[in-house]
Amino acid sequence: MRRFILGICLVFAGGIASAAVEIQTITTPEGIDAWVVEERSLPFIAMEVRMEGGANLDRPGKRGAVNLMMALLEEGSADMDAREFQEARESLAASFTFRAYDDTVTVSTRFLTEKSDEAIALLRQALVEPRFDPDAIERVRAQVLAGIEADAKNPSRIAGDTFYAMAFPDHPYGSDMDGTAETVAALTRDDLLQAHRDTVTRAAIHVSVVGDVNSEEAARLVDMLLADLPAEAPEQPGHVEFGLEGGVTVVDFPTPQSVALFGHDGIERDHPDFFAAYVLNHILGGGSFESRLMNEVREKRGLTYGISTFLVPRERTEMVLGQVASSNDRIAEAIEVIRAEWSRIAEDGVTQDELDAAKTFITGEYPLRFDGNGPIADIMVGMQQVGLSPEYVVNRNDFIEAVTLEEINRVAAELLDADALHFVIVGQPEGLETN
């Protein structure tokens, strides 16, 4: 029975540069939706798969199970142990990457056209028939435990763990998905099998295929890879409010430069004001050299090598976050400047010139992202995850262009609140009051 539906074709042409990216949406004979871009210049194919759920689905007391399970997928499957599996992969010159995140688990692959079937068969074996051999479990468990130990001495990781633990005390977001030394040490093979059954499924799956392949062939490869996965997955945890009030938390750590993570409540990805907020963040601290924070904290005062802010709309919460690092005797001044800039943009808004410059950059930079099979596959699967349609590639710059000065300044006043900012500082900062 062949059910093969070819969806709309889009040619994206907009902005300063125009990139012709023809996205085909397909439903495979086995009923899996995927986005395909046929690009024949190079004899290889890139494929991205995201499965919703991720480490949020760790069972009670089993924190770290999904992470450890994903790390074990490359460690042997079917009749191959870890080294036999890797030798087979190396012979094909294919790359497989398995990752766990809070909201998803992901599979990325790249393989030569001439080796498509062998590569997909080997990858399918890893997803569907992982062995979880006891010796592999112990080897990878030791690596994960070493990573947890290293994170405990890494100022950036300490800042993140501290911040999220306070912001989400009763939600998986509040704890590191790697787990703790205690939970990881206690994980059994059965826990890993459970984590595999819970998260490596086609219940809520997003797929993109880009490269030397047409849509029919892509459909065949997708089915070969994913059709045998279970169609059911456990219910996911609910939405959670950002639970941290304004203030300063210092974690004493002996190192010359303090590392700060700061933020407050944010805005949902599907909120009508999202694009205004996106442009606003770009102007405030969106990572470009022209941002207000980069200008005030680095260029004018030399207080840091880099400062940036982010809108973080996650699947089940939303935040505005920023990060900065300054030597222990200067971090207090950096924080003072950040607070002042946060207030200034909330109260006075941005100028028309700033808005125009930000729009020009954001719309001009967008087509430059579509510059290779790997990047295009990644963009497409990300769009699917947040519920966008292929038309978004064409319309996205119009949404940016539509943001008005009035709108962005209203959003600045509503979204940004200097008093609500909480700073977590790891180091030995001087002259800071904590609360």
Partner 1 sequence: MTRPLALFLTAALLVVLRLAPAYAAEQVTTFTLDNGMDVVVIEDHRAPVVVHMVWYRTGSADEPPGVSGVAHFLEHLLFKATDTLEAGEFSATVAANGGTDNAFTSYDYTAYFQRVAADRLPLMMRMESDRMNNLRLTPEDIETERQVIIEERNQRTENSPGALAGEQINAAQFLNHRYGTPIIGWMHEMEQLQMQDTLDFYDLYYSPNNAILVVAGDVYPDEVRALAEEYYGVIPAEPNLPDRVRPAEPPQRAERRLIYEDQRVAQDYLSRSYLAPERDPGNQETAAALVYLAEVLGGSSFTSVLGTKLTFESDIALFSGAGYSGSSLDDTTFRITVVPAEGVSLQEAEDAMDRAIAEFMEEGVDEDQLERIRTQLYASEIYARDDVSTLARRYGAALAQSLTVEDVQAWPDILQQVTADDIMAAAELVFDRNQSVTAWIVNNREEAL
Residue 302: exposure state from Cβ atoms within 10 A (0-12, 13-18, ≥19): exposed
Query: Cβ of residue 368: shortest distance to partner 1, in angstroms?
Result: 5
Please select the residue that binds partner 1; options are 8, 93, 231, 402, rule is CB under 8 A: 93
Touching partner 1, residues 305-334 (CB under 8 A): 305-308, 325-327, 330
Decide: is 256 part of the binding site for partner 1 (CB under 8 A).
yes
Please select the residue that binds partner 1; options are 234, 287, 310, 344, rule is CB under 8 A: 287
Q: Site map for partner 1, 24-53, x if CB under 8 A? A: ---------------x-xxxx-x-------
User: Judged by CB under 8 A, which stretch of 11-19, 99-107, 181-189, 238-246 contacts partner 1?
Assistant: 11-19
User: Judged by CB under 8 A, which stretch of 92-100, 179-187, 220-228, 411-419 contacts partner 1?
Assistant: 92-100
Q: Which is nearer to partner 1, 18 or 188 (CB)?
A: 18
Q: Which is nearer to partner 1, 87 or 347 (CB)?
A: 87
Q: Which is nearer to partner 1, 3 or 139 (CB)?
A: 139
Residue type, 181: A
Please select the residue that binds partner 1; options are 298, 400, 422, 425, rule is CB under 8 A: 298
Concatenated DSSP letters for 80-144? Answer: EEHHHHHHHHHHHT-EEEEEE-SSEEEEEEEEEGGGHHHHHHHHHHHHHSB---HHHHHHHHHHH
User: Judged by CB under 8 A, which stretch of 123-131, 196-204, 264-272, 356-364 contacts partner 1?
Assistant: 356-364
Residue type, 415: L
Q: What does the alpha-carbon distance between residue 212 and residue 218 come to, in Å, rounded to a whole number?
A: 10
Query: Cβ of residue 131: shortest distance to partner 1, in angstroms?
Result: 14
The helix or strand, by DSSP H or E, that contains position 259, with its residue range, turns out to be strand 257-265
Decide: is 149 part of the binding site for partner 1 (CB under 8 A).
yes
Q: Which is nearer to partner 1, 111 or 173 (CB)?
A: 111
Q: How many residues bind partner 1 (CB under 8 A)?
A: 72
Decide: is 15 part of the binding site for partner 1 (CB under 8 A).
yes
Decide: is 196 part of the binding site for partner 1 (CB under 8 A).
no
Decide: is 116 part of the binding site for partner 1 (CB under 8 A).
no
- Give the pair of three-digit tokens for residue 192: 């890993």
Give the C-alpha distances (Å, rounded to integers) separating 205 from 44, 180, 210, 215, 392.
23, 29, 17, 18, 19
Please select the residue that binds partner 1; options are 2, 232, 235, 289, rule is CB under 8 A: 289
279 touches 358 (CB < 8 A): yes
Instruction: Give the dihedral of Cα atoms 311, 313, 317, 320; nearest 10 deg.
Output: 0
- Return the SS3 of 252: strand
Q: What does the alpha-carbon distance between residue 235 and residue 308 come to, in Å, rounded to a whole number?
A: 35
Residues 259-282, buried b or exposed e (16+ Cβ, 10 A)? bbbbbbbbbebeeebbbbbbbbbb
Query: Cβ of residue 16: shortest distance to partner 1, in angstroms?
Result: 4
Q: Which is nearer to partner 1, 192 or 259 (CB)?
A: 259
φ and ψ of 335, to 5 deg:
-65, -35
Q: Pick from 155, 139, 33, 144: which is nearest to 76 by CA? A: 139
Please select the residue that binds partner 1; options are 301, 314, 339, 344, rule is CB under 8 A: 301
